[in-house]
Structure 1
Amino acid sequence: MKLNKKIRNGLLLLASIITLNSCETLDLDKLDNPSLLTPDSADPDLLLNNVELNFINFLEQINARQMEFARMEQLFGAYTGAFAMTAPSLDNDWDFAYSEMLQDNETLLALAEERQIPRYLGIAKVLKAYVFVSLVDTFGEVPFTEALQGASNANPSVDAGDVIYDAMFDLIDEGISDLSQTAIAVPNELFYGGDAAQWIRLANTLKLKMHFQSRLVRQTASTSAITSLVNSGNIITSSADDFVFQYSSTVTPADSRHPEYIQNYQNAGAADYMSNYYMSIMKDEKVDPDPRLRYYFYRQSGTDPEGDFLPCSDDALEFCYIDDFYWGRDHFFDEGVPNDNLLRTTWGVYPAGGAFDADTFLGVDSNAGAGGAGIFPLITSSFVNFMLAESALMINTPGDPRTYLENGIRESMAKVLNFLPGQVDPAFAATSTQVEAYVAEVLADYDAAADNNARLDIIVKEYFIALWGNGMEAYNAYRRTGFPSDIQSPTGSAGPFPRSFFYPTNAVNLNTSISQKSVTERVFWDNNPDGFID
C-alpha cells in the first residue's frame, strides 16, 4: 500500500541554501541587497543542479503510481482511489514540473543565453524536452505554448500532445546544436558530469524514444526517423552511456537516498507490498528462477504467511501467495493490512540500493544493504535494445528483432548482476550458466512463436522485467501494446484503467483554461480501442 509520497530528496533544499548564501553578506557598503538573489547573480552550476534535482523529483512522483498501474508494485484499492491516484494527490507532481523544474529551467535558459554558455543551454533544452514529453505521456494535453509566462498569463490553455511532441523534436535539435559548440566545462552536472558527447547521445535517444512511442499513429515518420538515428550510431548503445540518476547513502544534512529505500527501509519495516504477479513471472515462469530475482527483491521472512498474515486465503485470487517466502499481494487486493511490515518482501539491492537476498531473512532497517545508494534507471542501453526489437519487428526499422531481444536481456543482466558487487554474497550470486540458460529459453520461445503478435508479447515481457524501477516506460508499453498478455487483471472492481492521469486539483481550480477530464481519455499516440487494457 503506497500513500502519496513526499519525496524527501533534501538535496534540493541544500542546493537552495547554498545558492541563497552564495552572495557576499559582510560588505555593508554594497548598494544591492545581498539577500535578494536575482537571475543576474545566479551561479549557473547551482541553478543547473537545482533544475536537475527538480527534474528527478517530478519523475519520481509520477513513477510511483505508474509502477502500481503496471503491476510492478501492488495496487491497493481502485486506480483512482485514495492510495493510487486522485486529483488532489497529483498536485505535487504538477508543481514539481511547472512551478519548480520548468520555471527554474527558464531562468537557466535565459542565463545561459545571456552569458553565452552553450553547454548549459543545450542541457537545459534537453531536460525541458524530457519533462514535456513525460507530461504528455502522463496527462495528455497540457499547457505548453502559453505556459511559464508568470503573471502575464495565469491561465495558460492546454496544447495537443502531438503539437508538443513536434515542438520538443525542434527543441532537442536546438539542444544538440548548442552542445556541439566549443564550450566551457560543466563539471558539477549531476548526470554526465557535463560531458557534451553523452548529452548528445541522450538527446538522440530521447528522439528515438519519442518516435518509437508514436509508431501507432505516425508509422511512416517513425520508421524513417528511427532508421536515421540507428544508422547514425550516436545513441545510447552501452551501459557507459546510460541515463541514470545516482543516489547516495547520505541522510544528513540532506537525505539523498533512493526514494524507495526511504519508503521501505525503515526501522518499522517496509511500507509497500511487492506485486505477486511481477515476482511470480521472475520466480516461476522459466524453467529456473530469473537470475535477477535476488537482486530485485529482498525477503524479510523465512516462513510462510498464515492466519492474519494471509488475509487472501479465503478469496479466489490468482496468486494470494507465490511460495518460497515471497510475501506480496495481488493487483488491487485491498483487504485489511496486518502488522507484517518486517515480514513482507521488499526492494532489493537493484536499483534501490537495498539488501541483496542471501537467505538471511532479517527485517530491514534504515541502515540495511547499501543504505539507499541506488539509481533511477531512466534510459539504459538495455531499454534501447528492447525498443529497437519492437520497432524492427513491427515497423521494419533496421536490425534483427531477435538479436535486439537477446542484447536487451544480456545488457540488463550485466547491469543488475554487476550492480554494487560488494553487497552481493558470492554463495548466492547469479552465474553465467544461469544467464545463458535464461537467454536460451527466451530465444527458443521467440523462435517457436506463431506470429509477430506472439513475438512482440515476448519482447515486451522481457522489456517489462528489465524495466524494474522504471514504471513510466512500463506504463507506456502496456498502453501502447497491451502486453504482457498474461498481466494480472484487478482482483475486484478497480475502475477503468487510466489511459492518462487526472489533471491535478490545483491546476483545475486555479486555471480557468483547464477543465477536468476522465482517466479514460487517451494520449495522442494511443489509438487502441476503449477497454483495450484493464
Structure 2
Amino acid sequence: MNTKRLKIWSIAAICVLSACSKDYLDINKNPNKPSNVTPGLVLTNALNSTAASTTGSTEFYAFSAAWIGYWNFSGAVAAFAEERSYQFTSNYGPLVNIWNNLYHNLEDYDYVGRKGLELKNPFYVAVSKTMKVYDFHNLVDIYNNIPYSEALKSTAVIRPAYDKAQDIYEDLAKQLDTAASLFKANIGKVSTSDGAFDVMYKGDALKWGRFANTLKLRLLLRQSEMPGRAGYINSEIAKINANGMGYIGIEKDGGAFVNPGYTNSDGKQNPFWANFGYSPANAPVNNHRYYIASEYAINFYQNNNDPRLGKLYTTLNDGKGTTYSGSRFGPTATSPADDPINRSSIGRGLLKGADMSQPLLTDFESLFLQAEAAQRGYISGAARGFYEQAVTQNFSYLGAEGVTAYLAQSDISNWDLATDKLKLIITQKWAAMNGINDMESWADFRRLNIPADIPVSDNPAATTRKIPVRMLYPQSEYNYNPDNVLAQGQISQFTSRIFWDVN
C-alpha cells in the first residue's frame, strides 16, 4: 500500500473517530459554530461514507435486489421475511438505516460547503452541492416528501418540515446548475492539496462537471412520464447544453468511482466486497452465502445467450460446480434446494477484489440515460449509438466478451430488430445495472414497468402481491418529528407513490 493511500486512510479514520457524522436532528451540534476541521478531511470521509451507505451498502440491495429480479435469499438463513412478503413496518432495518445514513452523510457535505464558502474555495462548494443532490435525490426516490429546506439546521430547526418531492427535485436541478458553473470556472485550477482529498476525481473539475450534468439528466428522466413535464425537461437540458461540459462518456475511469485506498485488510476493504464478498482470509462473508441468484435473472441471461451470465453469477457452490441455478422469489428458506451449494452466487464480474473502486454512477449508466434521452428527443445524437456504447461498456466493466455478436443476435439486444426502442434500452439497462445499483432498476421499474415480467413474490404472507413502490418513514420521525411526518398522511408501501411514478 503506497504512502498516499496510507495518508488518505489515516484521514478517513480521523474523521470516522471524530464527529464528522451526525444526525440532522442532533441537538449537540451547532452549525453556526462548527469544529474547525479542514474541509478536505471531511470530504474524504464523506465520499467514502457515500460509497459505503449507497451502492456499496447492504441496504441498497437488501430488498431491491430481490424485488427487481436479480438476487434471492438462500436456505443458509431463516430471515428476510419482510423482503419476501413485502410486509414491513417503520422499524424495518434497511429503511431506517438508509434514512439515517444519508442524513448523516448530508451533514458532512453541508459542512464542506459552508467551510468552502468561508475559505472562498469554489471547488468545495461545488462538490458539496453535487453530493448533497446525490443523497437528497436518493432520499426522495425512496421516501417521496422529506425534510429538505429546514433539514441540516441542527438546533435552529429540530423538527424540520417536509418539502414536496417535486419541489425538492426542481431545487436540486438548480443546485446542479450552480455546481456545474463553478466546476467549469475552475477547470485546471483546483490545487494539488485539495485534489488529494478528493477520492473520486482527484480534483478534476471537468469530470466533476460531467458527473453533475449526468446526475441532473437522471433527475430529469425520472420525470419523463409525468404529463406536462416535457417543456420543463427541455428547458433544463438546454442549461446543461449551455455549460458545454457534456455527460459522463466512455472514459478510462468508467464514471464516478470512489476509492480512498481500499485494500484487503479488516476495515479497509471496498464496502461492496466487504458486504457481499470475502473476508481478508478469503472466507465467504455471511451475505455471500445469504444472497443467491434469482431464477428469473439466470433464465434471462441463459435464454438470451448473454455472456455476462458467468460474470454476474458463479456456477453452483460458489464456482465449484459446472452449471448455473437460481431460486424463485417468495418461499421461506427451508428447502435444501436453496442451500448455497445448490445455487449460483454473486459473480466475480461484480466482486473484482477487495481493492476495487466503488461505482456511484458508471459510464454505461450515463450512456443508457443518454440513449433514453435521445430516443425521447431531449438531446441530440443517435440513440442507437448511445445504446450500443452502453452495452459495450457494461461488458467491458464486467470483463465479458462477445458484445458484438450479442448486439446482433435478437430483438432482446438488436437495435434494428426491436420494435419498441425504449423497451429495448431499459431492458438492457436492467441487465447491466445488476449488482451495480439495484435502486436504479427499482426506480426504472416503478416509472416504466420494464421489465414487465419481473416475478412477484409467492410467499404465503405476501397478501398484497405487488412490488412496493416506496419505503415507509422511519419510526424515529414519528417519535421525534411527529407533527410533520403525520402531515404526510397514511403511508402505504403499495399505493403511496413517489411523485414521478405515474404509470
Amino acid paired to 1:97? L
Offset, 1:300: 4.5
Partner residue of 2:129 out of 125, 132, 143? 125
| 1:225 and 2:236 matched | yes
Aligned partners of 2:310 and 2:347 also within 8 Å: yes
SS at 2:348 equivalent: coil
The residue number in structure 1 matching 2:332 is: 334
| 1:524 and 2:494 matched | no
SS at 1:298 equivalent: strand
The residue number in structure 2 matching 1:7 is: none
Aligned partners of 1:393 and 1:401 also within 8 Å: yes
Offset, 1:142: 0.5
Amino acid paired to 1:254? G
SS at 1:187 equivalent: helix
Partner Cα distance (1:176, 1:298) in 2: 41
| 1:466 and 2:440 matched | no
Offset, 1:446: 3.8
For residues 348-427 of structure 1, what are the structure 2 equivalents within 5 Å?
348-353=347-352, 370=353, 372-395=354-377, 397-417=379-399
The residue number in structure 1 matching 2:298 is: 279
Partner Cα distance (2:325, 2:448) in 1: 29
TM-score, normalisation: structure 1:
0.76
Deviates more, 1:330-339 or 1:124-133: 330-339
Partner Cα distance (2:16, 2:360) in 1: 28
Offset, 1:242: 0.3
RMSD: 3.1
Partner Cα distance (1:262, 1:474) in 2: 20
Partner Cα distance (1:329, 1:201) in 2: 40
Structure 2's unaligned 5+ residue stretches are 1-8, 21-32, 74-78
Partner Cα distance (1:264, 1:407) in 2: 29
Offset, 1:227: 5.9
Partner Cα distance (1:12, 1:253) in 2: 17
The residue number in structure 2 matching 1:73 is: 71
| 1:146 and 2:158 matched | no
SS at 2:358 equivalent: strand
The residue number in structure 1 matching 2:472 is: 502
Partner Cα distance (1:351, 1:409) in 2: 16
Q: Deviations over 1:490-526 (max 9, x none)?
A: 2345334221111111122221211361112111111
SS at 1:211 equivalent: helix
Partner Cα distance (2:121, 2:388) in 1: 41
Distance 1:500 1:382, change over 3 A: same
Deviates more, 1:239-248 or 1:142-151: 239-248
For residues 27-426 of structure 1, what are the structure 2 equivalents within 5 Å?
39=34, 41-59=36-54, 60-64=57-61, 65-74=63-72, 86-88=89-91, 89=93, 90-98=95-103, 100-179=104-183, 180-181=185-186, 182-184=189-191, 185-217=194-226, 218-226=229-237, 229=240, 232=244, 234-240=246-252, 242-246=255-259, 250-252=263-265, 254-265=267-278, 267=283, 270-284=289-303, 286=304, 288=305, 290-301=306-317, 325-336=323-334, 338=336, 340-353=339-352, 370=353, 372-395=354-377, 397-417=379-399
Offset, 1:173: 1.9
Aligned partners of 2:258 and 2:357 also within 8 Å: yes
Partner Cα distance (2:255, 2:65) in 1: 21
Offset, 1:271: 2.2
Distance 1:473 1:84, change over 3 A: farther
Aligned partners of 2:262 and 2:269 also within 8 Å: yes
Offset, 1:235: 1.1
Amino acid paired to 1:278? A
For residues 447-458 of structure 1, what are the structure 2 equivalents within 5 Å?
447-450=416-419, 454-458=420-424
Partner Cα distance (1:253, 1:304) in 2: 26
SS at 1:498 equivalent: coil
Aligned partners of 1:261 and 1:347 also within 8 Å: no
Distance 1:247 1:44, change over 3 A: closer
Q: Deviations over 1:79-113 (max 9, x none)?
A: 66689854211222111111x21112222222111
| 1:435 and 2:403 matched | yes
Q: Deviations over 1:120-179 (max 9, x none)?
A: 111111000111111111110100011111122221121111100111112112222333
Q: Deviations over 1:15-50 (max 9, x none)?
A: 4267689xxxxxxxxxxxxxxxx7453122211112
Q: Deviations over 1:329-383 (max 9, x none)?
A: 1122324154834553222222222xxxxxxxxxxxxxxxx3x333433322211
Q: Deviations over 1:181-202 (max 9, x none)?
A: 3443422211111211111110
Distance 1:247 1:325, change over 3 A: farther
SS at 1:41 equivalent: coil
Partner Cα distance (2:107, 2:415) in 1: 47
Aligned partners of 1:216 and 1:527 also within 8 Å: yes
Distance 1:498 1:467, change over 3 A: same
Structure 1's unaligned 5+ residue stretches are 1-9, 22-37, 306-323, 354-369, 418-429, 529-534
Amino acid paired to 1:485? A
Aligned partners of 2:371 and 2:386 also within 8 Å: yes
Partner Cα distance (1:448, 1:190) in 2: 42
Partner Cα distance (1:247, 1:351) in 2: 19
Aligned partners of 1:19 and 1:42 also within 8 Å: no
The percentage of aligned residue pairs carrying the same residue is 23
Distance 1:277 1:409, change over 3 A: same
**Structure exhibiting the larger radius of gyration computed from Cα positions:** 1
TM-score, normalisation: structure 2:
0.80
Aligned partners of 2:190 and 2:203 also within 8 Å: no
Partner Cα distance (1:132, 1:212) in 2: 16
Partner Cα distance (1:82, 1:175) in 2: 42
Partner Cα distance (1:337, 1:112) in 2: 56
Partner Cα distance (2:87, 2:261) in 1: 28
Offset, 1:119: 0.8
SS at 1:74 equivalent: strand
SS at 2:291 equivalent: coil
Distance 1:392 1:20, change over 3 A: closer
Aligned partners of 1:351 and 1:376 also within 8 Å: no
Q: Deviations over 1:443-463 (max 9, x none)?
A: 67543344xxx3322221111
SS at 2:376 equivalent: helix
Aligned partners of 2:318 and 2:340 also within 8 Å: no
The residue number in structure 2 matching 1:14 is: 13
